[in-house]
Structure 1
Amino acid sequence: MSFLQIDKVCKSFGTIKVLRDISLDVEEGGFLVLVGPSGCGKSTLLNTIAGLEKLTTGEIRIDGNVIDDLPPSERNIAMVFQSYALYPNMNVGQNIAFGLEMRGMPKDERDVKVRDVAKTLQIEHLLDRKPGQLSGGQRQRVAMGRALVRNPQLFLFDEPLSNLDAKLRVDMRTEIKRMHQTLGTTIVYVTHDQIEAMTLGTRIAVLKDGIVQQYGTPAEIYNDPSNLFVADFMGSPAMNLIPAVVRGNAVEMARTGENPLVLDFKQLPGDVAAYEGRNIIVGIRPEAITDADNRALVRDGQQAVTASCLIDVVEPAGADIFAITSLGGKEVVTRLHQDWSGQANQHAELVFNLEKVVFFDPESGIRLR
């Protein structure tokens, strides 16, 4: 049985529906990431789990027990907010221990728990400092320590890294992942950053307008998107979404001043074949379009097409080179070998891995299979 069960949850503020019939199951020790653009309802859903917002309809269960009518203090949940919310007049140790003190835990026990948590988060040397003497990353560790020390059933994180600079975000992602692997605690984590979602989650729920667009593992979300929104939102760079026309077992993509690029498949999926002579959207990740020297990315036995394409822009990125061409009237990003020597405004031989191509209806945005 799932440890956290969100069953047909709806939440309205007056006539405005913020959450629409959301159902998610999380296994014990799982790491669920709620991801989506601003205003999609992810923080509202987190607040309903915490008890900070009451459900309009639906039910939430933890370990089989319905928690809808329990106040936040009785849900055995710890929450880490975007703002660190530390007490500036208390030192780090006092901030971490404050919740335990309020619950009447003896000082000797509190001190042991604080030291254990500080060791886990590598902040033992900071216990006597005030929050004003800490960096942003250190303050976030203290906020996490305050949640950890309670040993709750469930951790909730509400965009905890959004106030940090780029390098600190990467460092703290690693710390949170290490903490989860060490403690095995169930976590629900809210972010608008799809890189955080992909790197942290064991399961991801992609939300838009209060509706779950797709729920699955990071690999499923990335490689098998259920609609155009998920395909475009998840991934950096995003999936290339190219208008095309179905011709038999091939798709044609227009090119300015050149013949169309034809991707010829052994067999198109049944839903796609039904679009004969009609428009369709072809989805392909940048890493599935590469140069001939990097062809090893296309494994033996996989379908592939090599075509000469005009390169518009070249963007070196260290380990890779991103080159941009145009297909179907859209900019198409390709991911090439770091030693690729081509130039902008020249043609280059590109290899398209047909095994990685997905298809969408241009009107509804639904995935075609």
Structure 2
Amino acid sequence: MAFLQISGLRKRYGSLEILKGIDLDLEQGGFLVLVGPSGCGKSTLLNTIAGLESITEGDIRVDDHSIADLHPSKRDIAMVFQSYALYPNMTVAGNIAFGMEMRGVPAEERKAAIEKVAKVLQIGHLLDRKPSQLSGGQRQRVAMGRALVRDPKLFLFDEPLSNLDAKLRVDMRIEIKRLHQSTGKTIVYVTHDQIEAMTLATKIAVMKDGVVQQFGTPAEIYNNPANMFVADFMGSPAMNLLSGTIERGSNGLLVSLDRAAGAAIKLPVATDKQALEAHAGRQVVFGIRPEALTDPEGADRNARTLAENDCLIEVVEPAGSDTFAVTKLGGKEVVARLRADARISAGQHARLAFNLDKAVFFDPQTQARIA
């Protein structure tokens, strides 16, 4: 049985519906990331779990007990906020101990708990400092320590890294992952950053306009997007989504992609051919990730269906471990991910390999996945 269950959850403000029937479940010790663009409802959903927002319909259960009508203080949930919310006049130790002090925990127990948490988060040397003397990453560790020391059933994180610079975000992401692995706690985490979602989660819920577009493991979300929104939102660079036409060839189905100059590129269909048979002669959206479009030498040798074509390279972007090349197909710019030492130049034609095992197809009207 799931440890956290959210069933038919709706949240309305008057006639405005923010959450539109959310159904999610998470195993004990799992790490659920709610991800989506600003205004999609992810923070509202987190606040309903915390009890900071009431719900209009549905239920929220933790460890098979409904918490939907419980006061926040009775839910045994700890929350880490985006703004840290530390008391500036207290030391680090005082901030961590404050909640325990309010609950009447004896001084010796508080001291032992502070030392234990400080060791886990590597902030023992900061206990006597005030928040103003700490960096952003150190403040976030203190905020995490204040939550950890309570030993709750469930941790909630509301965009905890959004105020940090790029390098510090990476460092803190590793710390949060390490914290989850060492404590085994159940976590629900909100972010608009799909890299955070992919690297931290055991389960991801991709949200848009108050609706869960897809719920699954990071691999399921990335490799098998349910619709064009998920395909475009998850991945950096994003999946290439190109207008194409399904045609019948002598050896089976093909997808035809127009080029700015020259004949259209025709690629064999390697995925669910039966589902695409009904779309023969019709337009589809062809999706392929940048890493599945590469130089022939860098192509996946385990791929069952590889097709090579010459493409005019418009832009080359060296990125250290990779080189990104931009070409144009199906009337849109297409990003290919090549080896760092790939010999390629802007303004010239280059041979690119399409790994069609990784291709996906969408209906251009409904934007739902076809195959």
Which whole-Å CA distance do the structure 2 matches of 1:187 and 1:265 have between them?
40
Does structure 1 residue 292 correspond to structure 2 residue 289? no
Does structure 1 residue 354 correspond to structure 2 residue 356? yes
Residue equivalent to 2:181: 181
Offset, 1:268:
5.1
* Secondary structure of 2:337's aligned partner: strand
User: What residue identity is the alignment partner of 1:111?
Assistant: K
Offset, 1:62:
0.3
Residue equivalent to 1:307: 309
Which whole-Å CA distance do the structure 2 matches of 1:258 and 1:305 have between them?
18
Could you tell me which of 278, 284, 297 is aligned with 2:282? 278
Q: Deviations over 1:156-193 (max 9, x none)?
A: 00000000000000000000000000000000000000
Residue equivalent to 2:100: 100
Task: Point out 4+ residue stretches in structure 1 off by more than 6 angstroms.
Answer: none
Q: Deviations over 1:180-225 (max 9, x none)?
A: 0000000000000000000000000000000000000000000000
Which whole-Å CA distance do the structure 1 matches of 2:345 and 2:3 have between them?
54
User: What residue identity is the alignment partner of 2:291?
Assistant: E
Residue equivalent to 2:168: 168
Which whole-Å CA distance do the structure 2 matches of 1:180 and 1:340 have between them?
39
Which whole-Å CA distance do the structure 2 matches of 1:246 and 1:64 have between them?
49
* Secondary structure of 2:316's aligned partner: strand
8 Å contact 1:304–1:351 — kept in the other structure? Answer: yes
Offset, 1:267:
6.8
Which whole-Å CA distance do the structure 1 matches of 2:212 and 2:271 have between them?
31
Matching of residues 190-229 of structure 1 within 5 Å: 190-229=190-229
8 Å contact 2:35–2:206 — kept in the other structure? Answer: yes
Which whole-Å CA distance do the structure 2 matches of 1:40 and 1:16 have between them?
13
8 Å contact 2:271–2:357 — kept in the other structure? Answer: no
8 Å contact 1:204–1:215 — kept in the other structure? Answer: yes
Q: TM-score, normalised by structure 2?
A: 0.98
The alignment yields a C-alpha RMSD, in angstroms, of 0.8
* Secondary structure of 2:352's aligned partner: strand
Which whole-Å CA distance do the structure 2 matches of 1:359 and 1:159 have between them?
32
Residue equivalent to 2:335: 333
Residue equivalent to 2:347: 345
Q: TM-score, normalised by structure 1?
A: 0.98
Matching of residues 236-255 of structure 1 within 5 Å: 236-248=236-248, 249-255=253-259
Bigger mean CA offset, 258-267 vs 155-164: 258-267
Offset, 1:24:
0.3
* Secondary structure of 1:25's aligned partner: strand
Residue equivalent to 1:121: 121
Which whole-Å CA distance do the structure 2 matches of 1:307 and 1:88 have between them?
61
* Cα gap change, 1:179 to 1:238, in 2 (>3 Å): same
8 Å contact 1:298–1:353 — kept in the other structure? Answer: no
Residues paired across the two proteins, number: 367
Which whole-Å CA distance do the structure 2 matches of 1:17 and 1:171 have between them?
37
Which whole-Å CA distance do the structure 2 matches of 1:186 and 1:267 have between them?
36
Residue equivalent to 1:62: 62
Q: Deviations over 1:299-355 (max 9, x none)?
A: 15x111011111010000001100001000100000001111110010111100010
8 Å contact 1:82–1:162 — kept in the other structure? Answer: yes
Structure 1 unaligned spans of 5+: none
* Cα gap change, 1:87 to 1:262, in 2 (>3 Å): same
Offset, 1:227:
0.1
8 Å contact 2:271–2:360 — kept in the other structure? Answer: no
Residue equivalent to 1:3: 3
User: What residue identity is the alignment partner of 1:265?
Assistant: V
Q: Deviations over 1:79-111 (max 9, x none)?
A: 000001100000000000000000000001000
Structure 2 unaligned spans of 5+: none
Q: Deviations over 1:276-317 (max 9, x none)?
A: 11110000000000101212x2415x1110111110100000
Q: Deviations over 1:16-72 (max 9, x none)?
A: 100001000000000000000000000000000000011100000000000111100
Counting aligned pairs with the same residue, the percent is 64
Which whole-Å CA distance do the structure 1 matches of 2:271 and 2:320 have between them?
37
8 Å contact 1:137–1:168 — kept in the other structure? Answer: yes
Matching of residues 38-49 of structure 1 within 5 Å: 38-49=38-49
